């Protein structure tokens, strides 16, 4: 089976966010964390010290959330055998926020789906197309309602395991941005894989312009959005997938109701909003929901913007960002379906 991890899209995002760096007064750092390449660019007098603190925060969070580090909070929860684990405030906060979004999205995003993610091979690289019996067996050990968070104590039933891949980068971007703002930074752009976190605006006072990858041709950009102090987070079937022996494409986002990789006609969903954590949880959830439900959700939650791209090349975009979005192809803009 073939494995694809297109890095090109990530690189494009990073380049566009870099804004040319005509301002000399900036600090930049590239790192590999949370299984992805990250690039942090911070402007202003205090930029070096602020950047160090922001990248330390990302490393700290990786040590808490990683499923491959035995001492992480998540590994300790997963090994508790139905008992409880004492975790850091940040871990309990992120698990609680994940649960809130599971409830709001009727279980479309669910951090207990990990046994399925692993058995399909997305965390191990040993891909295999699972049969219905195997899937039904694994689904018995999923369900966000069974996670209990009381203060810093997290309890999951025996056999349940958590994984924060749908939310960790958004949370890390949000917390890193908070640190930068506390340090007096008013201009920074953080690229954490498919998650972009903008702090303030560009040093010249114009908005940050963030590129959205064309999911149907990931080496290209489909459009760029203008943002100040927002997160721009994309979930898509081009980011990680394999082609099975049956010739079908299986992507890394699992529908918690069926246990199958999502295959609903969507290619990507980008969510724009104030909180990186919320945008990350929501982009995964909306991708699982599919076009109709995602559009309905966004109409009822106008504090988020969305760009949805279908496998057949249609673009669906919220009205609030439509006029400021620059499309790579004017025809696409003319044909875009605007959500009012």
Smallest separation, CB 256 to Mg ion (Å): 14
Contacts of ligand AMP in 98-117 (CB under 6 A): 109-111, 113, 117
Smallest separation, CB 265 to ligand AMP (Å): 17
Using rule CB under 6 A, residue 130 touches ligand AMP = no
Residue nearest ligand AMP, Cβ-based: 165
Using rule CB under 5 A, residue 94 touches Mg ion = no
- Which of 280, 305, 306, 322: binder of Mg ion (CB under 5 A)? 280
Report angle CA 312, 314, 300 to the nearest 5 degrees.
125
- Residue 109 contacts which entry, ligand AMP, Mg ion, none (Cβ below 5-8 A, type-dependent): ligand AMP
Smallest separation, CB 269 to Mg ion (Å): 9
Number of H helices, E strands in the chain: 11, 18
Of residues 57 and 252, the one with the C-beta less far from Mg ion: 252
Q: Which residue has the tokens 């963030």?
A: 210
Q: Which residue has the tokens 């959500």?
A: 339
- Which of 166, 289, 306, 336: binder of Mg ion (CB under 5 A)? 166
- Which of 119, 161, 163, 305: binder of ligand AMP (CB under 6 A)? 163
CB atoms within 10 A of CB 65: 27
- Residue 113 contacts which entry, Mg ion, ligand AMP, none (Cβ below 5-8 A, type-dependent): ligand AMP
Helix (H), strand (E) at residue 217: none
Q: Tell me the three state secondary structure of residue 337.
A: strand
- Residue 254 contacts which entry, Mg ion, ligand AMP, none (Cβ below 5-8 A, type-dependent): ligand AMP
CB atoms within 10 A of CB 210: 24
Q: CA-to-CA distance for 167 and 195, rounded, in angstroms?
A: 10
Contacts of ligand AMP in 229-268 (CB under 6 A): 235, 240, 252-254, 256
Using rule CB under 6 A, residue 147 touches ligand AMP = no
- Residue 288 contacts which entry, ligand AMP, Mg ion, none (Cβ below 5-8 A, type-dependent): ligand AMP
Q: How many residues of this chain interact with ligand AMP, rule: CB under 6 A? A: 19
Q: CA-to-CA distance for 59 and 200, rounded, in angstroms?
A: 23
Using rule CB under 5 A, residue 305 touches Mg ion = no
Q: CA-to-CA distance for 58 and 39, rounded, in angstroms?
A: 12
Strands (E), 105-230: 148-150, 153-155, 187-192, 195-200, 208-213, 221-227
Q: CA-to-CA distance for 160 and 20, rounded, in angstroms?
A: 47
Under a CB-based contact definition with an 8 Å cutoff, are residues 279 and 170 in contact?
yes
- Which of 284, 310, 318, 325: binder of ligand AMP (CB under 6 A)? 284
Smallest separation, CB 49 to ligand AMP (Å): 30
């Amino acid at each position: 089976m073939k494995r694809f991890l297109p890095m090109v899209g990530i690189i494009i995002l990073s380049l566009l966010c870099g804004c040319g760096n005509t301002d000399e007064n900036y600090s930049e750092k590239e790192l590999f964390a949370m299984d992805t390449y990250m690039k942090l660019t911070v402007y202003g007098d205090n930029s070096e010290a602020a950047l160090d603190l922001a990248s330390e925060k990302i490393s700290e969070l990786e040590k808490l959330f990683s499923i491959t580090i035995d001492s992480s909070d998540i590994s300790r929860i997963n090994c508790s055998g139905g008992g409880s684990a004492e975790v850091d405030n940040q871990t309990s906060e992120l698990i609680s926020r994940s649960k809130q979004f599971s409830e709001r999205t009727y279980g479309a995003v669910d951090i207990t789906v990990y046994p399925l993610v692993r058995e399909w091979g997305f965390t191990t690289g040993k891909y295999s197309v699972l049969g219905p019996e195997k899937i039904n067996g694994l689904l018995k050990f999923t369900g966000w309602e069974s996670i209990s968070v009381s203060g810093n104590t997290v309890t999951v039933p025996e056999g349940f395991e958590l994984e924060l891949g749908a939310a960790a980068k958004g949370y890390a971007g949000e917390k890193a941005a908070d640190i930068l703002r506390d340090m007096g930074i008013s201009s920074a752009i953080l690229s954490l894989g498919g998650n972009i976190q903008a702090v303030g605006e560009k040093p010249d006072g114009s908005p940050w312009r963030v590129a959205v990858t064309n999911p149907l041709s990931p080496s290209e950009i489909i459009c760029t959005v203008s943002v100040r102090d927002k997160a721009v987070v994309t979930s898509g079937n081009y980011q990680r997938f394999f082609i099975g022996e049956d010739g079908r494409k299986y992507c890394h986002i699992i529908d918690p109701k069926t246990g199958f990789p999502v295959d609903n006609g969507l290619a990507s969903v980008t969510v724009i909003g104030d909180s990186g954590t919320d945008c990350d949880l929501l982009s995964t959830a909306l991708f699982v929901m599919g076009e109709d439900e995602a559009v309905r959700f966004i109409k009822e939650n106008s504090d988020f913007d969305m760009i949805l791209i279908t496998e057949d090349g249609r673009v669906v975009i919220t009205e609030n960002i439509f006029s400021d979005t620059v499309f790579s192809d004017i025809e696409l803009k003319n044909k875009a379906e605007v959500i009012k």
